[in-house]
Structure 1
Amino acid sequence: MKTKNQSWFIISMMLIAANLRLPITIIPPLLKSIEKNLGVPGSLMGLVTSIPLIAFAVFSPIIVKIAKKFGNELTVFLFFIILIVGSYLRIIPSIWALFIGTTLVGIGIDSGNVLVPAMIKDHLPTKIPLGTGLYTLSMLLIGAIGTALSGIFITKISLGSTLAILSALSIVALIVWIPNLRSNTKDTVSSDEEESVPNYRTVWNQSVGWLITVYFGLQSLVYYSLLTWVPSVIESHGVSTVVSSNILTLLQLSGLPCSFIVPMFASKVNGRRFLSTFLIIGYVLGPMLFLLDIKTTWILVIISFLTGFGSGIAFNEAIYYFTNKTTNPYQTAEVSGMAQSAGYLLAAFGPVLFGFLHELVNSWSVTMIIMSILSVVLVVSGIIINHHEPIAEH
């Protein structure tokens, strides 16, 4: 058996996780520059967020199969090369480069989305809450910092330079990941044996797998829609671009404590009640509160914090379900791939649909009301999952 260096894996895993939202979260502050410099119609700007989500949906089940054949660590390495190519392709000042590059970015990111939870279960079998917490912490923290830096850089340097600088972290992550290739994990069970092994019952025909998929899809749809349009909603009330960008950064940062709060609380009855309460406050009430004509910064800060805290609970609970409602690393990868395939396909409609609805009715009210309704369904599905047995082994 190959020796797994847990300390190195944790460091390199955190760098991989740091790049799983960064290429997407740096875009909202750049939307006006992209629209102006490249001539992209405003009605299509939501696609810049939706394209990676569509890539997640299409490639998640494919990545599971590729990793099963070539190994998790090698698959992440190869797909991160695709991520880097896509990131720097977006520097070219043309619409085709923007959309093709964004597609490649989405494909590259998806390998980490799908496989890192499974590798945490494999590399850190006795430290899953720690690994999961550091994974989501890195993803959310660097994503939020990226939004803030993007808003600052675009006022000082060009669009291409901003994208180039903020994409450099993916190169660092790829280099640091290389030592993990020595412990590349492959599924050694043949397809004939697989049929006779109880642990390989597919998650696609199990109700808990679909419940996790619904939960993941709804939390992604609401989160990426908020990420794309909250600055525009706030600015429609007369708030400056700088303030709206900072509010969006705070919204992302507010979810950071949930990286450790959720793993600690999710296994306890009272803990789950606490999480459900703040999920309702943040995700059900949060979108509605942004509709209020508020220009007072400290009130916007409170609303942003509550909404961001709710988003952190939703995302971290989804990751928690991947590892705690499965019984082995392959099953974890399979349910992760399933949830992110169907879930991100659902989420991809959010930014585009809500942007279209805004143009149609010239108001954000319909958009935010729909988000709140979807969040109610999210909360109910989470309660059902928490009372459900883990995915069956046979």
Structure 2
Amino acid sequence: MGNERTAGSFDINTKKSWLLIIGVILVSTNLRGPFTSVGALIPFIRDDLAISNALAGSITTLPLLAFALLSPFAPKIANRIGMEWTITLSLVLLIIGIVIRSFGEIVFLFTGTFFIGLAIAIGNVLIPGIIKMNFPLKIGLMTGMYAIFMNLFGALGSGISVPLASIGNFGWQGALGVWGILAVISLLIWLPQLTSQRNQQASVETEKKSSLWRSPLAWKITIFMGSQSLIFYTLITWLPDILYANGLNSNTAGWMLFLMQFSIIPFTFIIPVIAEKMKSQVVLSVATGFLFIIGLSGLLQGNLTLAPLYVILLGIAGGSAFSLSMMFFTLRTRNGKEAAELSGMAQSFGYLLAAVGPVLVGALQDLTAGWTIPLSLLILISVIFLIVGMSSGKERQVTD
């Protein structure tokens, strides 16, 4: 680890250092926006292409399945050709996917969406490794910057899609295609990283190989990541319906979803900075678990007066849980390669759960004709999150 710290600690004032910082930020802006921009446009796409609600809904599920499929293999690809080259190729694939998706036919829509999911999966997995390898003394700050820009542009994608689609003949195709501009800019800024030799070091820095799939701590971090992903994506899908069933009108229920996502953003930056300064993150993990439990219990209780408070608590918990997951990838590993491998393992399982969660909760609602059983299930998952968080937060390494 000492060799990595020496190689990874470089002068913040150099041009190369700033290009890498800006590159990491720009890559992070592409990890949610192209995905979240689709949700608000589903009615436009459904009506224009004359497809069913089920088929239209699968457009948002497809990237999550792509995340789960490719995440375990991203570190292996990076170990062969280097992290910098792998991220470069992912940006190229992202641009191709955005362009294909905007052609306006069903086959292009789903093909492009799948390519976008594969591209984003690589960035999701490798950015924690890039941060671990290059910013060993600023892991909390860089993780916070990465997380806040990713979530900020994710929220922006949800907010600007419909206004963009309503401009002249822009349509939903143009609203989705505009993300290609950001991807091209990100690629151009990232290209100087290909001249770096750090990727060669990353592939040889681990002297002994050990399977993270046999590490109890790695599995606890994986469950930690997976349970928070399931809760978040389930709430993104069903929160307005839950609040509507409790008596809120549909417009207000929609704004509650915005409030939850807005509450996430500041804590994706604050929590990593705090976590890095602590020897153990057990307190943060437990507090986050209790926030999930309190917020979900409030939704189960159905008190409309306190609904905004419960939604904000869930937003804070979501931002904290995601950031702690990203921090554990770096704090519980010895080097950038190991961080990428743990990230791939945890995110593969996590996004698979994220894809299953909304469907499972929706099915339970259909079977029980209410939200008591589905919300009770989410509370149970929050308890599991809290328990594995107590172990994940202790100061140790996955290979100990």
Which bracket does the TM-score occupy, shorter chain normalised?
0.7 to 0.9
CA deviations over 1:336-363 (Å, ceiling 9, x no partner): 1111122222222112323333444443
Q: 1:376 Cα deviation (Å)?
A: 1.3
CA contact (8 A) 1:224 1:350 kept: yes
Can you list the C-alpha shifts for 1:103-125, whole angstroms capped at 9, x where unaligned? 11110001111111111111212
Amino acid at match of 1:219: Q
Question: Which AA in structure 2 matches 1:265?
Answer: I
Matches within 5 A, 1:1-394: 5-154=16-165, 158-183=171-196, 185-187=198-200, 197-198=207-208, 200-236=209-245, 239=248, 243-266=252-275, 268=278, 272-273=282-283, 276-281=286-291, 283-290=292-299, 299-387=306-394, 389-392=396-399
Preserved CA contact (<8 Å) 1:206 1:391: yes
Query: Matches of 1:73 and 1:96 in 2, distance apart?
Result: 31
Question: Which one-letter code corresponds to 2:30 in the other structure?
Answer: N
Give the 3-state SS of the residue equivalent to 1:391 in structure 2. Answer: coil
Checking the alignment, whether the CA contact within 8 Å between 1:133 and 1:260 is kept in structure 2 is yes
Structure 2 residue matching 1:255: 3-state secondary structure: helix
CA displacement, residues 159-199 of structure 1 (integer Å, 9 cap, x when unaligned): 222212344322221222111222153345889x97xx23x
Distance in 2 separating the partners of 1:241 and 1:183: 52
SS at match of 2:264: coil
Query: 1:215 deviation in Å?
Result: 0.8
Paired residues of 2:280 and 2:395 also in contact (CA < 8 A) = no
Equivalent-residue separation in structure 2 for 1:70 and 1:391 (angstroms)? 25
Change (3 A) 1:228 1:38: farther
* Counterpart amino acid of residue 134 in structure 1: M
CA–CA distance in structure 2, aligned partners of residues 151 and 301 of structure 1: 25
**Structure-1 separation of matches of 2:303 and 2:48:** 31
Residue aligning to 2:4: none
**Distance change >3 Å, CA 293–CA 342, structure 1 → 2:** closer
Which shifted more, 265-274 or 69-78? Answer: 265-274
* Structure-1 separation of matches of 2:197 and 2:351: 27
CA distance in structure 2 between the aligned counterparts of 1:175 and 1:189, rounded to whole angstroms: 23
Give the Cα separation in 2 of the matches to 1:155 and 1:301.
30
Kindly indicate whether the alpha-carbon contact (under 8 Å) linking 2:72 and 2:341 is maintained by their aligned counterparts in 1: yes
Structure 1 position 7, deviation (Å): 1.4
Bigger Cα displacement from structure 2, 58-67 vs 384-393: 384-393
CA contact (8 A) 1:87 1:102 kept: yes
Compute the TM-score of the two structures, normalised by the length of structure 1. 0.87
1:21 and 1:143 in contact (8 A); partners too: yes
**Offset at 1:100?**
1.9
State the AA in 2 paired with 1:328: N
SS of 1:92's equivalent in the other structure is: coil
The letter for the 2-side match of 1:27 is: V
Deviation at 1:290, TM superposition (A): 3.9
Asked if the contact 1:215/1:378 (under 8 Å) is kept, the reply is yes
Consecutive unaligned residues in structure 1, runs of 5 or more: none
Q: Aligned AA for 1:258?
A: F
Contact 2:365 2:371 in 1 (8 A): yes
Q: TM-score, normalised by structure 2?
A: 0.86
CA shift for structure 1 position 41: 2.7
In structure 2, C-alpha distance between the alignment counterparts of 1:352 and 1:83, rounded to whole Å: 27
Query: What percentage of residue pairs aligned between the two structures are identical?
Result: 33
Where does structure 2 lack aligned partners over 5 or more consecutive residues?
1-6
Q: Distance in 2 between matches of 1:384 and 1:152?
A: 45
Q: Following TM superposition, by how much is the alpha carbon of 1:249 offset from its aligned partner in structure 2, in angstroms?
A: 2.8
- Give distance in 1, aligned partners of 2:377 and 2:294: 12
